[in-house]
Each structure stands twice: as C-alpha cells, then as structure tokens.
A and B are shown apart, each in its own frame.
Chain A
Amino acid sequence: MSAPVSALIQPTPLPFFMTLLVYFAIIGGIGWYAAKSTKSLQDFFVMGGKAGAVVSGIAYFATQYSMSTFMGVPAVAYANGYAGLTISVPGLAFSMIIPALLVGRKLMQLSHQHGLLTMTDYLASRYDSRKLGILHASMMVVFLIGMIGAQTVGAGVIVHTFTGLPEWVGVVGMGIMVILYCMTGGMKGAMLTDVLQGGLMVVTAVVTFVVSVQAGGGLENINAALLAKGEQYLAHPGAAGKYPWTAYFSMIVMWSFFTIGQPTLFTKFYAMRDYRTMYKAVILGTLGMLVSATLIEWSGVMGIVSLPGLTGKETDFIVPILLQQNLNPYLAAILIAGIVSAGMSTIDALLVVATGGITRDIYQHGINPKASDEQIFRLSRYVTVAIGVAGIIVGITKPASIFELIRFSFGGLGIWVAPVILGMYWKRATLAAAFSAAIVGQVIYVSLALWGKDLTMGFDPLIISWMATMVLMVVVSLATQPVKREVLNRHFAFA
C-alpha cells in the first residue's frame, strides 16, 4: 500500500476484533434461529411470503445500500466534491417508489396467485419459456458475483485499516461469515439480519457525518476551505469533471428505474405479505435511505478538508480512516460494524438470489426437472458456498474500485428491464424479442462499458443499451408470434 494511506492508518486490532466478535455472534445467532424455522423452499427463497413492513422496509434499504454507499460513493465524493453526491442523493427518494409503482404491485399479485419465487420465474412464466429463464439465471449469476466481490473489497479495506493485516484477510473473513448464515437461514436469515444491520447503518451514517463535520471545523469552515481549494469542489461537474448533466441524469435513472432489473428487488416484493406492508416498507425504506445515504456520502466531501491527499483506489479508505482518527477505538469498531453490515446485508440477498438462479432455474428447470424440492434445498447450501467463494476471489483480485465494480454489475442486470417492463405492460411482447433484447443488449452494454464510454455522449452505457433493447424488442415483437393466449390471460388478468 502506498503513502499516504499507510501513513494515516493506526491499527487497533484488539478493540476491532473484540467488537466484531460480539457482532458476528449476534448475527450468527439470528442465522441459527432462522435456520430452525426455515422448512421449505419457499421459506428459503422468499421467507414464505410473510415478511412484515418493518422487516421488508429495512431489508430493502439494507440490501439496496451497500459497501458502495458507505465507502464507494464517499470515495467518489472525496475525489469530486459535492458533485460526487450526484450519484445517489438526487434520486434517493425515488429508489423504492418507482419500482413499487411500475412493477411492485403486479409482482406481489403474481407471486401470491402463481407461486413465483424469483425474477427468473417471472420471465419464464410471462414468456412461457424455461430457456429464457435459464438465460436470465446464467447472466444474472455472473453479475451477482461481481456485486458480491465489490462488497468483500470493502471488508478488505476495513480490516487493513483497523488491524494492519492484508486486505485479503478481510475479504475472506467476511465472505465466510455471510456464506455461513445464508446457507443455513436463506431469505429469512438474510432479512432478519438486515433489520439489525439496517439499524446500525443509520447510526453509523449519522455519527460519521457528525464526526466528519467536527473534524473539518464545522460546515461553514469546510465549505470555505473547499472554495479556497477551487470552485469545482462546490459545483458540477465536480473536481474531476465526471458529473456533467448527462451523468446527473444517468445516476438518477439508474438507481431508481433500473432497480427494476435487479433480481433482489423481485424477491423483496415477493416476500411482502400485502399492500399495506409494501407501502409501509416503501415509506420506511425511503426515509432510511434519505437519511443514511445522504449523511454518509456527504462525509466523503468533508474528508477532503480534514484528510487531504488520498488518490485513486486509496479514496475507498476515507470513511474508515475518518472514524478511526476521530473516535475511541471501541466506538469506531462498532460503527465499522455498521459499514460491514451494509456489505453483508447486500451479499446475503445476492447470495440467496444467485443460489436460486443456479439450483432452481438452471438445475431443476433445465438440467434435472425430476429433482425434488428437498434435493434442491440441500443443493442450495453447496451452491451458496461456491458462489460465495467466487465472490471472494473477485474481492481478492480487486479489478476496480468498489463503486466501479457495483456500477458495472448493476448495469449488466439492468439490461433485463426491457423484457420486464414490456412484458408487464404490452401483451404483444414476444419470446423472440425478449431473447434478442437480452443477448444483444448485454453485448452492447458490456462493449460500451469496457471499451466504448466515449460513444455514450456522457450518459451511462446502461441508458444507451437499454434504449437499444427497447427499440429491438418492439421491432422483433411486431415481427414474431406472441406468446399463447392462456399465458397472457394469466399475466394480464390483473390489468
């Protein structure tokens, strides 16, 4: 690790390990309790469709907000100034209501009446094709592993900051912990631990904000210092010039509308027991996100003044170092547990969904249709381990910063928004169109994201790719056979 990170960190391993030990013991206890009451495949994947409002709301924002929110975006804000907050703050209030408004209610009805458990189930059912389901599950697992990897990267940074141990120790440690409680408790374990983790995340965000304001000498002083450093820290497109209006627009749309393509979102809606639960969850989750994400990401801007000099991937260290330098080691460790929570609560949901993709959608529906639910349930535990290990490998190799990893993987999943939205609102959307949109869209997205960012006119590659998939889906749908009438009747009975 190059200076100045190595010069800034002051390892305090004893308080760090003691605090995390207690925290993990509590999390492990919840996983054990959940395992005792997880008896069926439906329990494992969607908590039996019985999640209440508090569990659903907190679980939603705990899943949505991850290491990226607590470390990745503050790092971007540190590098860009206030314009870096463009990533999530302007769109925060829409991140739950837009998916709920456009797809949530219909998903709840479909799940309730037809027993759908995953996003893949929805696609396979709407387009009457298990092959489409298998394609979705295969693509999904690849990008979910990328997202899991990004979360473990954050754990590596934290462990290095607080103990001086190599980053891979944190990556592996976090990976093993989440694998253990996910393979035992499934979605129930994941959602119940989300409640504890979500609460801790809010506390962490508030305290980190207060600490960062104090460390910089108050908000007015900090902003005056930023102005002296350069107006670009207080205006768009930011100090690094990365947030012009096109990026501003992209970020708002990405973390709200394109959330519709995230398989974890489907699972959360399927798990809600009624509309009252959904609305309470939307309100509670939105409030939690508005408070926690705004404050923690704002802390990254404050760090420019109190901890100057971090560059490149080192900026990921800004929040852990802010806490370490300004708080008692035990208190800092508790708050760091809040950040670890953010990563763990996201990984657990990703792991459960990715496990379902392989065991049910690829294996049970594609390779071995005779497999019983009991066999799938057993297989799920091994698959969870395998996916977790793949995520750990991504975390150890750390191919990009936390935020860039999340952004790339999120976009890969977002491509499926066209088949979902058109499938839900347009009876004429066909299977051939869904296949072509997914395959062509994915090729365009990956090509633009990796090699063609200059061709997107400043918009995120996902926006351009999605527009192409929408046009493609409409054209191909009009030229091909619609799905069977009885399938459409089943899906449009509510509309």
Chain B
Amino acid sequence: MHCLSNAFERRWTAIILALYGLIMLPLPWYYNESYLPGPLGVPMFLWGWIGHGFVVLVTVVIFARQCLARPEYQSLDASTGDEQ
C-alpha cells in the first residue's frame, strides 16, 4: 500500500502534508525577521516550532492507531485494501 491507495490513505496523506506545508509558511510564529518575544523571552518562532511538532506527533499517533485497526495493516502479506 502507499499514500494514495484508497480514500483512507489519501485523507491522512492530505492531513499530514497540510501540517507539513503549514510550517513552511513565513507566519510570524514560525518565521520572523523581527524579535517577537514569547514566554521567558524566547523568540515566538521557537515555541511555534515546538508546539507544531507536538501537534504532528499527536496526529501521527491517531493515524497509526487507525491504520493498525484496519485489516490490511495486520500482515505484510495481507490484502492492501487498494481501490482498483
């Protein structure tokens, strides 16, 4: 199977790639050419990266749990659940 195999894979691929694309944008909490102080004087973009990182991690946990509940993830030899 791969990231475009079926509707389930495509939906999750879109979610993860959206998070991936989001952090590349020059939004002030990700990229900033002026000093925007956050807690403890740390630049806001660092807190933004850390927060985004943990959101991605939680998303991956949910994705993994849903994948592993599906029959095609029970074995490397199992049917792939692909749409023909």
- Which residues of A are interface residues toward B (Cβ below 8 A)? 82, 85, 89-94, 97-98, 101-103, 105-106, 108-109, 112-113, 219-220, 222-224, 227, 231, 234-237, 245, 248-249, 252-253, 256, 274-276, 279-280, 282-283, 286-287, 290, 294, 298, 424-425, 494-495
Q: Across the interface, which residues of B come within 8 angstroms of A102, CB to CB?
A: 2-3
Closest chain B CB from A77 CB (angstroms): 11
Closest chain B CB from A431 CB (angstroms): 21
Q: Across the interface, which residues of A come within 8 angstroms of B2, CB to CB?
A: 102-103, 105-106, 424-425, 494-495
Q: Report the bound CA distance from A219 to B61 in whole Å.
A: 31
A279-B20 in contact given A92-B53, A495-B5 (Cβ < 8 Å): no
B7 is an interface residue with CB less than 8 A from chain A = no
Q: Report the bound CA distance from A220 to B38 in whole Å.
A: 10
Inter-subunit contact B20/A256 (CB<8 Å): yes
A85-B46 in contact given A91-B23, A93-B52, A93-B57 (Cβ < 8 Å): yes
Q: Report the bound CA distance from A234 to B33 in whole Å.
A: 9
Inter-subunit contact B20/A98 (CB<8 Å): yes
20 A-B residue pairings within 8 Å (CB atoms): A82-B43, A82-B45, A85-B46, A93-B54, A94-B23, A97-B60, A102-B3, A105-B1, A222-B41, A223-B40, A223-B42, A235-B32, A236-B45, A249-B24, A252-B23, A275-B68, A279-B68, A290-B54, A290-B57, A424-B2
Determine chain A's interface SS by DSSP, over half rule.
helix
A97-B16 in contact given A89-B46, A274-B76, A425-B4 (Cβ < 8 Å): yes
- Which residues of B are interface residues toward A (Cβ below 8 A)? 1-5, 12-13, 16, 19-20, 23-24, 26, 30-37, 40-43, 45-46, 49-50, 52-54, 56-57, 60-61, 64, 67-68, 73-77, 80, 82
Q: Across the interface, which residues of B come within 8 angstroms of A222, CB to CB?
A: 41
Inter-subunit contact A236/B32 (CB<8 Å): yes
Inter-subunit contact A283/B61 (CB<8 Å): yes
Q: Across the interface, which residues of A come within 8 angstroms of B24, CB to CB?
A: 248-249, 252-253
Inter-subunit contact B37/A290 (CB<8 Å): no
Indicate which residue in B35, B50, B80 contacts A227 across the interface (CB closer than 8 Å). Answer: B35
6 residue pairs, one from A and one from B, having the closest CB atoms: A223-B41, A279-B64, A93-B56, A93-B53, A112-B76, A219-B40
A219-B54 in contact given A113-B76, A245-B26, A248-B31 (Cβ < 8 Å): no
Q: Across the interface, which residues of A come within 8 angstroms of B19, CB to CB?
A: 94
Interface centre among A85, A93, A102, A109 (most CB of B within 10 A): A93
Q: Across the interface, which residues of B come within 8 angstroms of A275, CB to CB?
A: 67-68, 73-74, 76
A101-B40 in contact given A85-B46, A93-B53, A290-B57 (Cβ < 8 Å): no
Q: Across the interface, which residues of A come within 8 angstroms of B36, CB to CB?
A: 235
Inter-subunit contact B16/A101 (CB<8 Å): yes
- Closest A residue to B55 using CB positions: A93
